[in-house]
Amino acid sequence: MASIKLDIVTAERVVFSDDVDVIVAPGIDGQLGILPRHAPLMTMLEPGELRVRKDGEEFSLAVSGGFLEVRPDRVIVLADAAERVEEIDVARAEEAKRRAEEQLSRPLPEEVDAARIQASLRRSMIRLKVVEKRRMRRPQV
Amino acid sequence: MPDIRLIGRRIRATRNIAKITRAMEMIATSKMRRAQEAGLAGRPYAEKISQVLGDLAALPYGEALHPLLQHRLTNKIAVVHITPDRGLCGGLHASMNRMTASFILEQGVPVTITNVGRKGLDFMRRSGCNIRAEFTRLGDRPSLLDTLPISRVIIDDYSNGVIDAVYLAYARFVSTTIQKPIMQEILPVKPAVLPQGQSLDYIYEPDPAHVLGELLPRFVEMQVYHAILEAIASEQSARVVAMRNATDNASELIQDLTLVYNKARQESITKELLDITGGAAALA
């Protein structure tokens, strides 16, 4: 079966680089499945879960926005931030989520940007979700 | 005759200095390596983003798409002056400051400074430059997040028409012994021109203008981040060299002093012997 080369890079490092079979990405206009021989595409990404399948095994990464580019021979994800499941710091994500919720529950001072807190909340929720899913799957392995 | 104890004290002091400079050299070496690695780790992102940008800008209606691409008549220039926070790195800040200062003098239009790093800030304040913003204490390992406020300032000023061109002044890391101060124009963005036939006919989601609007600020942020990493690698490598020289000079000094010390010691022994034999001869 044909495979595609997937590179996930952030400004700070290369997060992932391997040949894969299927990519499911959180595109700005909805979930996006990419198989080999996809047409050239350039899309923005929503913060969300990016799933990858290789040799029947599936794993996911948390990405918080960025771009996805499909070329004939490869797929490039330019992420603002991306983590593999095993890299996610659950305690930190939970703490960030709790803090964001607390800030949003109170009336906000003028200078604080509500959208930013919401974005931060969303990011930590995605991280937690990705980890949670992996935990549920693990016993079957 | 020099005082023996005084010389002994100087030798010990110099030896201590040499220990410190040697330790500083080793610390700087490891920090330099880390900064270099961080710079290399970001390279794939940098290459990809320039490539994508080149594709987008090759579209027929390129320049009108985004304010950061528009060339304007240059009435006001901003320079992001990136310097170390700390000294003891040889002539690095002197050459950085000299380059930026002469650049400012060459321009026929007002120049504002967005300063990164304390060493440049001190200089710019002293010479009465127009400082738009200042950032210090980024540390030896800044993340992209730490550098975003810097890019924010220049992107906002450029989009609002406060400034018409932005330059980055930083020390490019050439090798451990060579750091080259360079002045690089980053705004307006000049996308790389792609060779004919290389650009692909993409499907854009949601549409090219949106993608470009999101991509351009990130491109600028990435360039600023990269320049800062490069500046850190340069700073540390300059420090390695400076500290190595200091250690060498100290060992040389210790050698010279030891010679003087031994001579003086010998001289005093000879003198004492002469005194004793002189005394004995007088008694006989």
CA distance A139 to chain B (A): 35
A73 touches chain B (CB under 8 A): no
Enumerate the residues of chain A whose CB falls inside 8 A of the CB of residue B200.
40, 71-72
Number of A–B residue contacts, CB under 8 Å: 72
- Active site residue: B53, B89, B168, B254, which one? B89
Q: What range defines the domain where residue A70 resides?
A: 4-85
- Let me know: does A77 contact A25? Beta carbons within 8 Å: yes
Could you tell me if A100 and A63 lie in one domain? no
Enumerate the residues of chain A whose CB falls inside 8 A of the CB of residue B41.
12-14
Q: Is the pLDDT of residue B54 over 70?
A: yes
Q: Is the pLDDT of residue B257 over 90?
A: yes
Enumerate the residues of chain B whose CB falls inside 8 A of the CB of residue A14.
41, 44
Whole-prediction pTM: 0.83
Helix axes B208-283, B144-159, angle to 10 degrees: 120
> What does the pLDDT average to over A52-66?
86
Could you tell me if A79 and A99 lie in one domain? no
Could you tell me if A10 and A78 lie in one domain? yes
Could you tell me if A103 and A36 lie in one domain? no
Q: Cis link prior to B67 (omega < 30° from 0)?
A: no
Among A53, A68, A85, the domain-final residue is A85
- Give the residue ranges of DSSP H helices in A4-113: 90-105
Q: Is the pLDDT of residue B121 over 70?
A: yes
- Let me know: does B2 contact B264? Beta carbons within 8 Å: yes
User: How far is the C-alpha of A26 from the C-alpha of A32, rounded, in Å?
Assistant: 6
- Looking at this predicted complex, what is its ipTM? 0.74
Q: B222-252 pLDDT, tens per residue?
A: 889 989 988 999 999 999 999 999 999 999 9
For chain B positions 219-258, those within 8 Å of chain A (CB to CB) are: 221-222, 225
Active site (annotated) includes residue B89: yes
Does the domain made of B23-242 have the CATH classification 3.40.1380.10? yes
Could you tell me if A77 and A94 lie in one domain? no
Tokens 């090798």 locate to B175
Enumerate the residues of chain B whose CB falls inside 8 A of the CB of residue A10.
45, 144
User: How far is the C-alpha of A137 from the C-alpha of A139, rounded, in Å?
Assistant: 6
B204 touches chain A (CB under 8 A): yes
Tokens standing for B240? Answer: 């390695």
Could you tell me if A26 and A70 lie in one domain? yes
Residue boundaries of the structural domains of chain B: 23-242
Give the CATH number of the domain where residue A97 resides. 1.20.5
User: How far is the C-alpha of A41 from the C-alpha of B50, rounded, in Å?
Assistant: 16
Could you tell me if A34 and A58 lie in one domain? yes
Q: What is the mean pLDDT of chain B?
A: 87
For chain B positions 113-142, those within 8 Å of chain A (CB to CB) are: none
Q: Is the pLDDT of residue B72 over 50?
A: yes
Could you tell me if A76 and A99 lie in one domain? no
* Number of domains composing chain A: 2
Could you tell me if A15 and A68 lie in one domain? yes
Tell if the CB–CB gap between A29 and B205 is shorter than 8 Å.
Answer: yes
Give the CATH number of the domain where residue A23 resides. 2.60.15.10
Q: A97-121 pLDDT, tens per residue?
A: 888 888 778 776 666 677 777 777 8
- Give the closest of A7, A39, A41 to B44, CB-based: A7
User: How far is the C-alpha of A34 from the C-alpha of A18, rounded, in Å?
Assistant: 15
CA distance A44 to chain B (A): 6
Could you tell me if A43 and A56 lie in one domain? yes
